[in-house]
Structure 1
């Protein structure tokens, strides 16, 4: 035990030295902002004053959104008239004094808040119109250039927000002071760590406060900024946050900030910033959010908002957060729940067409379904396989070491690799190279199994094959014997490789990766069709069965929402293609179409249930079919919003907008009988 402790300390010491050399340290107080901003949500007018202090002499580029005008500008107290190009970029001349300051006053009209947008529309809203305001909410994302934003370098800031009476606002950081009078509300925040930018939120919030003591004994302030209609949820959310702090402080290290807030949004957002998360009102009302998405956003205060991804070499933070949040909660629930989540990741990947994915190192942020499958799911599976490879103890030590050395530093995939290599004392280059830089996934097959009598029992010879170029994999196989089941790990490094296993009893069958511990291509029989296959596949075609214009328009809208693009519609009397196919209609139309195409009638899982149903089956030429059926036009319209969120299901039943039953058709493992 003593040798093991000394070994760990040595590797940790080496990691500290290497991290010092390889980490991208952030500028230390290079740029400081002091901003005062006044917003009137009724008129949507914003007026601001910003003093930017540069502690290093270099040419700077500033950008202010096109809807704003500069009313006054000074450099070191001297007036200047900034020249802008068509993109409203300013080249600020190099100042002769150090430090030097730029003072800018600006004003403009924000875009109107649109509460009809769904999550994807909110996520993909053009930057030019993303700064929005209304009486139910104001959201000014950093990317909208709502303030004169320095193009290069991270910043420290203080921000003072002034709003009309009844409104509350905040930015990421520590609340220094706040005051409410009959004339309005004022709050000042400061953020002393290097930050990528400033996001501002405001609304008619009711604020509830609490606190928790961190592992170092410091008091962490907790708040909810909730709209009045959900203010009764505040106490439960604050209690859930305390639970996540306890989990992640013990797993990673002390929480890096002094407070954390949950802020409600009038649109269905799901954003995380340092010290806060911004979630839609409808999202916060879902009963499972406190046990799922909330923990994910809390964890981002370690990975993403305190250890910064180097986006040029890939965003690792979403995958690590998914693994340590969403997946971990399934592990805490049960082994079966965790296995089902891993299987769902492989099912999602199987829904992609060849060429739809990209190398994990190329993932920066979620833009569509395929990017989430790679950047969240595949990345989370990488960390799961890495834990299997180095062992849970070394995996957790590596996380603590990574956190200790990389806080508030830009961190790339190679930094993670080096941390795990030094603390586990393993060469992980082949592992990271194949999972970060290759598209696709290994396609594994048991091609031959032979059994022979041995001196001490039986010997089993198993041949595994995979496509070229080969992956280096630790492949689990389960051998079923008359006396039980044995699990063996096979080190596969070639495109075809044979292994000899000594087993205790006579083998009856061999199962490949029965516990779904490898990211790989599922065999055709392993992957029952799910709804997502028609949602993410660009070759999907659509049959719209309704014969009235009004109902057909509803069906077309649903098809567009499911596929997030204009559907490719073909006539109902056309043959079923081999590509993924979506069929939408009323119940009598769907039943008649299935009969005319000689397809199985609706399965027992959805038959005579609910007001609308969706299910999948395999078409005559092997393509996936997703069938959506409703009892009337109103029932079809009711599922336009909820149905796109259930892509991982093989079938689902709705009563109105409420999902009342769902499931996935059973998986068939790769099992080879042994003679």
Structure 2
């Protein structure tokens, strides 16, 4: 067993090995990426946008400083007016995927440049779409209230699968202001229009552009390397009064993450409002919906998450072909860390919520962490954010806080502005901790599901010195290697022991001075595992994400029926499968929607539990879960009237982690989760 002094010595020298090892792994495991050509591509872009007409005109000069074959892409909604390669005309080709493209041959054996002029009308801004729709339709949009050009919309001629540095000159009409990720090097705001120039000096995967009728406020933060970080808000006029609070709050996240990880990699950070309910993190900025920014808790939750993405995701790039680790690490070091700072109980509740969410998945909705790329629906978030965050929590438990934090710093020092795989992370943690972690990474990254743990036998016998306790643990096939926490309760208290479980069934023995009263499996929820029947309380998400969920609408009124059907569609993100109101209760997940008197009568006629005390007589609408026939989960939605039902359509889908919730109009006034029941074996 290595002592801590030996580990520190190994860790010190390992940094020299680490750089070579990781970079060799990068080159070997990321075919087709530009890792060996970082910085060899440079964009110099000038773009003019008029939101009133939605017209964009652009010019881009792309310089290739190394010999290599490349493909340039541009969406076909744009017209290419001129294109040259080293001053010679070079026309684009088109394909069936709505793209112009240029194939740049590797036979050009010298540095070369391409100049492209393009123009076109952007799609109209739709302020009615929700966040999921924004994620699912990466198109370039513009309007007086805002312009958003995501990189995935191919709104500028861009190199496929390449990292590039860039400068961008943006011109907008008077009253509009905008930005792209990067350092602001020039800005001019006059009566005839606004212009700004940005530089991004690191290899970047793409360019997102935002503009709107922004009011700009500024501040600064002094970083740990005596660097001045410019802080800005680009807020719509209706929320401009929030700027000071956001600028003040963001500083504490810089203090936290610079001390935990390392110096902030950029010269500025901006908080930008969006007319649609977005929640995006980009290098040097975050793009959040106006109504999101109004929520009082966002400064203490989502803001820090997006700041941290400047280290993980926008500072060290995930290799999407082998899995996106950055969302899980960011969730662990942001969302979960804030709960740890709040209290031990709050942190445990978040871990329990991750397990409850996972228990709500149906067969086929799960996937290995190596398959997660980005959030597309609730099931992908449960895996890519929550299971991945629990992965890092368990890894910290395994190697200890000190070595975990030093590994985080090692990852940052070695991998800044490089595409990084899960195997690169494994290399860092193994070298810094001086441990073989292959079993841990393999079982949690490459397998679907989770271990199903139970206590199958407990017995004790008296000894000359006290009592001998025999505990048998069992897990599902194939076996995981786990350190299972088991709490032993006696008359004088409780003590937790760790059992190294490596087989599907394994017996353990403890010699104790006192007689054991009961044994509890994983009482603090420190393992990612399948919750046993009855251990997990039902939550809304369990019905919302289940593809077999049926919907019962009780009302005969046409307007109420239509409102209920819209609500069901929003909750399930699909056309609901409707069942007649008079049909007997089935053994599949069921969503029941009706007005208050209809719900009360329906529950009574089927001998189901009445409205629980937690929601009884409160608000204009009550929603709760209960267990139906054959332990099937149910959601009951009871509203005062049709207007109260309509008020749920927008907010209710965001409360999937709750067991019950009360609304007064559109405002959630009470919510909660039914108590979780631990696996406890009492000894007589």
Q: TM-score, normalised by structure 2?
A: 0.97
Tell me which residue corresponds to 1:667.
676
CA distance in 2, matches of 1:93, 1:557: 49
CA distance in 1, matches of 2:92, 2:300: 50
List gaps (5 residues or longer) in structure 1. none
CA distance in 2, matches of 1:652, 1:276: 34
Change (3 A) 1:300 1:501: same
Change (3 A) 1:97 1:356: closer
Cα contact 1:11–1:425 (8 A) shared by 2: no
CA distance in 1, matches of 2:8, 2:92: 60
Change (3 A) 1:615 1:26: farther
- The alpha carbon displacement at 1:56 in A equals 1.9
- The alpha carbon displacement at 1:652 in A equals 0.1
CA distance in 2, matches of 1:649, 1:529: 9
Cα contact 1:36–1:49 (8 A) shared by 2: yes
| Pairing 1:120–2:129 present | no
**Aligned counterpart in structure 1 of residue 86 of structure 2, from 76, 83, 86:** 76
SS at match of 1:295: helix
Q: How do residues 300-379 of structure 1 correspond to structure 2 at under 5 angstroms?
A: 300-379=309-388
CA distance in 2, matches of 1:301, 1:454: 59
Q: How do residues 199-238 of structure 1 correspond to structure 2 at under 5 angstroms?
A: 199-238=208-247
**Aligned counterpart in structure 2 of residue 491 of structure 1, from 484, 487, 500:** 500
- The alpha carbon displacement at 1:22 in A equals 2.0
SS at match of 1:103: strand
Tell me which residue corresponds to 1:395.
404
Q: How do residues 264-275 of structure 1 correspond to structure 2 at under 5 angstroms?
A: 264-275=273-284
**Aligned counterpart in structure 2 of residue 593 of structure 1, from 590, 598, 602:** 602
Cα contact 1:509–1:674 (8 A) shared by 2: yes
Cα contact 1:23–1:406 (8 A) shared by 2: no
| Pairing 1:7–2:7 present | no
SS at match of 1:344: helix
- The alpha carbon displacement at 1:3 in A equals 4.4
SS at match of 1:507: coil
**Aligned counterpart in structure 2 of residue 58 of structure 1, from 68, 83, 86:** 68
Question: Deviation digits for residues 145-186 of structure 1, max 9, x if unmatched?
Answer: 111111131111000000000000100000010101211000
- The alpha carbon displacement at 1:518 in A equals 0.3
| Pairing 1:43–2:53 present | yes
**Aligned counterpart in structure 1 of residue 444 of structure 2, from 435, 445, 469:** 435
CA distance in 2, matches of 1:454, 1:613: 56
Cα contact 1:27–1:194 (8 A) shared by 2: no
Cα contact 1:26–1:194 (8 A) shared by 2: no
SS at match of 2:631: coil
Cα contact 2:174–2:192 (8 A) shared by 1: yes
Q: How do residues 392-431 of structure 1 correspond to structure 2 at under 5 angstroms?
A: 392-431=401-440
CA distance in 2, matches of 1:54, 1:423: 37
Cα contact 1:26–1:410 (8 A) shared by 2: no
Tell me which residue corresponds to 1:626.
635
SS at match of 1:621: helix
Identify the range of structure 1 (92-101 vs 556-565) with the bigger mean alpha-carbon deviation.
92-101
| Pairing 1:19–2:31 present | no
Question: Deviation digits for residues 407-457 of structure 1, max 9, x if unmatched?
Answer: 111110011111111111111111111100111110000000010112322
Count of matched residue positions in the alignment of Structure 1 and Structure 2: 672
Identify the range of structure 1 (233-242 vs 1-10) with the bigger mean alpha-carbon deviation.
1-10
Change (3 A) 1:206 1:17: same
Q: How do residues 511-590 of structure 1 correspond to structure 2 at under 5 angstroms?
A: 511-590=520-599
Tell me which residue corresponds to 1:89.
100
Q: How do residues 172-211 of structure 1 correspond to structure 2 at under 5 angstroms?
A: 172-211=181-220
Cα contact 2:487–2:496 (8 A) shared by 1: yes
CA distance in 2, matches of 1:503, 1:566: 58
CA distance in 1, matches of 2:53, 2:465: 86
Cα contact 2:141–2:147 (8 A) shared by 1: yes
SS at match of 2:629: coil
Tell me which residue corresponds to 1:647.
656
Question: Deviation digits for residues 334-392 of structure 1, max 9, x if unmatched?
Answer: 00000000000000001011221011110000111110000000000000000000001
**Aligned counterpart in structure 2 of residue 242 of structure 1, from 235, 248, 251:** 251
Tell me which residue corresponds to 2:30.
none
Tell me which residue corresponds to 1:453.
462
CA distance in 2, matches of 1:668, 1:516: 11
CA distance in 2, matches of 1:656, 1:345: 29
Question: Deviation digits for residues 53-92 of structure 1, max 9, x if unmatched?
Answer: 1112333222111211011111111223323233323233
Question: Deviation digits for residues 102-131 of structure 1, max 9, x if unmatched?
Answer: 111111000000000111111112x4xx10
List gaps (5 residues or longer) in structure 2. 28-34
Change (3 A) 1:26 1:569: farther
**Aligned counterpart in structure 2 of residue 140 of structure 1, from 140, 149, 171:** 149
Cα contact 1:272–1:300 (8 A) shared by 2: yes
Question: Deviation digits for residues 592-615 of structure 1, max 9, x if unmatched?
Answer: 110111101100001100000100
CA distance in 2, matches of 1:483, 1:180: 72
Q: TM-score, normalised by structure 1?
A: 0.98
**Aligned counterpart in structure 2 of residue 105 of structure 1, from 93, 105, 117:** 117
SS at match of 2:292: helix
Cα contact 2:92–2:100 (8 A) shared by 1: no
Identify the range of structure 1 (90-99 vs 392-401) with the bigger mean alpha-carbon deviation.
90-99
CA distance in 2, matches of 1:81, 1:303: 38
CA distance in 1, matches of 2:90, 2:319: 35
